[in-house]
Amino acid sequence: MGVWGALGILVVLLLSQMSSLDRDLKQRRQPIAVFQWSAAHGLTDDRLVDALSAIPLRNRPIKVSWDHAILAVDLRADSPADVGYDMSRLILYAYQDAPNVKQVLIRVIGENEAGRALLLAVETRKLDWTKRELDELHQPLMSDLLRLPSKLRLSVTAAGERWLGNFANS
């Protein structure tokens, strides 16, 4: 077999490797993605409005803030049933969908001819809730929420007692 035979075998081997070299070259010439989409995890200042606007609330939020893992929401008060529904929606979002929320503060504000008045305030912490308890929160009435003193630290003002009383009598 001589030198020419060995050289022929070497050429055949090199030619068989040309397709893999071409494939590597094509991969190197493809555009590289500089920005890649990634799902946002948790609540941030940048996502606050978008995240809360996706929650189907029955009352209009008056003010929303996010500070050090604390979500604070002021709600306009229409009816206690709607407020209870909205409170449960906010708590479910905060503790099931946004893993970085550790505490939720909700204030319910009533409006009358004299102006705005604080009716009630609720404070709750993520550590107070079990998964089962959150699953039971899917559509409670305000009266159901008021029976959760260990979960919801609730403060009702005199105006709030009148507001709750007016709806209880109607």
pLDDT confidence band for 111 (50 / 70 / 90): confident
* Residue count (the chain): 170
What is the tens place of the pLDDT at every residue in 154-165? Answer: 899 999 888 888
Beta pairing, strands 70-76 & 61-67: antiparallel
Torsion, Cα 104 165 150 129, to 10 degrees, reads: -50
3-state secondary structure the chain: CHHHHHHHHHHHHHHHHHHHHHHHHHHHHCCCCCCCCCCCCCCCCCCHHHHHHCCCCCCCEEEEEEECCEEEEEEECCCHHHHHHHHHHHHHHHHHHCCCCCEEEEEEEEEECCEEEEEEEEEEEHHHCCHHHHHCCCCCCHHHHHCCCCCCEEEECHHHHHHHHHHHHC
Q: What is the pTM of this model?
A: 0.70
**pLDDT given for residue 139 in this prediction:** 59
What is the tens place of the pLDDT at every residue in 22-57? Answer: 666 666 666 666 655 545 567 888 888 888 888 889
Q: Rg (Cα) of the chain, in Å, rounded?
A: 30
Q: Compute the average pLDDT of residues 131-149.
A: 70
pLDDT above 70 covers a percentage of the chain that reads 76
